[in-house]
Amino acid sequence: MASGDPNVGYLRDVLAAGPLPACVVGVSMHPWAKSADEARSWIRQVKAAAGDLPIVLGEYNRPASELPGYVAMALEEVAAFGWYCHSDVQSLGSEGQRFGLFDEHGQPKDVLHALQAILGTTPTPTPTPTPTPDLKALADALEQAAAYLRQQVA
């Protein structure tokens, strides 16, 4: 379910259609752009419609200042929750928005430190940043390969 269906109509329709396949083990929600109170309200609507199916926040992202209340709400209301996304490299296409726990250079951001403090976890090692290709070197190598092939054909 995406945040665009706040009335849980789609979930109700799916559940009303008949028995669910055995592979359906829960309901994943993405409460984007929702405060903790707004997310809680929506989660409770989904819980009421979902019956015994566990609820998971498959993606969420909030500013560090909102995390204490948001994480407390999630711990009370859902079976599991997952941050979107690991690194800013994954969200670079979003104009002006960086959603990662690590920046594009692999450095931890304030949101990671806030989550660690709230959840009482140990620091996460800094991941190796995704290398940026050297486009000039690649172009030079391609030109050299093309020159070699031209010599072989001539």
| DSSP conformation class of 69 | H
Q: pTM here?
A: 0.69
Whole-angstrom Cα distance, residue 5 to residue 29?
10
E strand or H helix that includes residue 38: helix 36-50
Whole-angstrom Cα distance, residue 32 to residue 83?
11
Is the pLDDT confidence value at 122 over 70? no
In tens, the pLDDT along 139-154 reads 777 787 787 778 877 7
Residue 82 · residue 62 · CB < 8 Å: no
9-153 has which CATH code? 3.20.20.80
Of residues 86, 39, 28, the one with CA closest to residue 66: 39
